[in-house]
Amino acid sequence: MNLQNPKKFKLLIDQAHEVALNVLRPISRKYDKAEHAYPKELDMLASVVDGMNAGSEGMNAGAAVNKRGDTSNKNGVNMSTALSIIEMCYGDTGLLLSMPRQGLGNSAIAAVANEEQLTRFEGTWAAMAITEPGCGSDSAAIRTTATKDGDDYILNGEKIFVTSGERADSVVVWATLDKSLGRAAIKSFVVLKGTPGMKVERLEHKLGIKASDTAAISFVDCRVPAANLLGNADIDVAKGFAGVMETFDNTRPLVAAMAIGCSKASLERIKEIFKDQLDTDYGTPYLQTSHIAAQIYRMEAEWEAARLLMLKAAWMADNRKPNSREASIAKAKAGRIANEITLKCVELASSAGYSETELLEKWARDSKILDIFEGTQQIQQLIIARRELGKSSSELK
């Protein structure tokens, strides 16, 4: 089992690392303080990313899977995206989430769109609208409705915590075609910015990732073309929620990568601060090291475990292998250890860790959302338990 990064992605990873250090880090504090201000510096950077994506594998949050029918064993766009995200979040997580045309809604399009839709929505910047008031991590409890009317669907409901909800070109909205049929009737719709009936109600003030706009959006008699329903419009009760859940199988490894990148930044900075107490060759037995060194070594081990779990989930997505269990394991592990590492690094650095002279306190604030969105710890553990025990969602709640 080769655990090294694929050689073909070396240039991409190196470029992303340089961007993190030379573009994102220098403006990180600026946009943390100027909440909701659009980072104009990202426009030029987005053009560079578009150029990389114009090849084959690049950095594309859409994380398109292998073409239908392709059975080759490969490291593809899911893997390259995850490795790029690690480096970009090493720079700044909020700015990564603000990148034009790299929205999480692109992952929904890549996961469930048909071939015509993949072509039609290529190049769009799509936000993803799932969460509702009173409906947090339980995506199956969605109450936003989509009613068929001729060649259109009419959407009614409210979505909250929509990342890039104001800035994106379109929003992928999850809505139910028939509440009585439960989760099987939930479908995804691409709603273009400016569509009558869709309104950004407010932007949230947040603990972290302040550079990213997080919107609450209402839909009142919002008319959307039926052609914008992603994938198959038929309701398959036997298949249930599987179609839209494929979205999470793509995005959860990417959120894990964000957590790994953010915690990598904290871990490297704390190692630099305490470099005189660390054995760079790891030759000193663990029980003979200082208490600070032992804590740093333990965090490194947890971080490496999370990284490997994420790589496995991303590889499985690239090769169209069912990865719901692995995606949830990776997301749960990475989200938890990112919180632990970033907060511990603030603690170990003492006054420097709590001060704005360092980015350690910012990374700690940014990391919290990475354990929450795309499914909390509790939801991930529930999914893992269902997969391990072979239980359905109705059998294990």
Q: What sign results for the dihedral spanned by CA atoms 316, 322, 375, 117? A: positive
Whole-angstrom Cα distance, residue 250 to residue 268? 28
Type of residue numbered 180: S
DSSP for 116-140, please give it.
HHHHHTTT--EEEE--BTTBSS-GG
Q: Are 107 and 128 in contact (CB under 8 A)?
A: yes
Q: What DSSP element (H or E) covers 261?
A: helix 242-273
DSSP for 142-177, please give it.
---EEEEETTEEEEEEEEEEEETTTTSSEEEEEEES
- Choose the catalytic residue: 87, 132, 358, 374: 374
Q: What angle do CA 354, 335, 337 make, to 5 degrees?
A: 65
Q: What sign results for the dihedral spanned by CA atoms 35, 251, 155, 193? A: positive
* C-beta atoms surrounding 199 within 10 Å: 14
* C-beta atoms surrounding 226 within 10 Å: 14
Residue 374: CA atoms inside 13 Å, Cβ hemisphere, count? 32
358-362: long-range contacts (C-beta < 8 A, 24 or more apart)?
Answer: 358/269, 359/25, 359/28, 359/29, 359/265, 359/269, 360/266, 360/269, 360/270, 362/28, 362/29, 362/32, 362/208
Active site residue 374: yes
Whole-angstrom Cα distance, residue 385 to residue 163? 29
Q: Which residues are catalytic?
A: 374
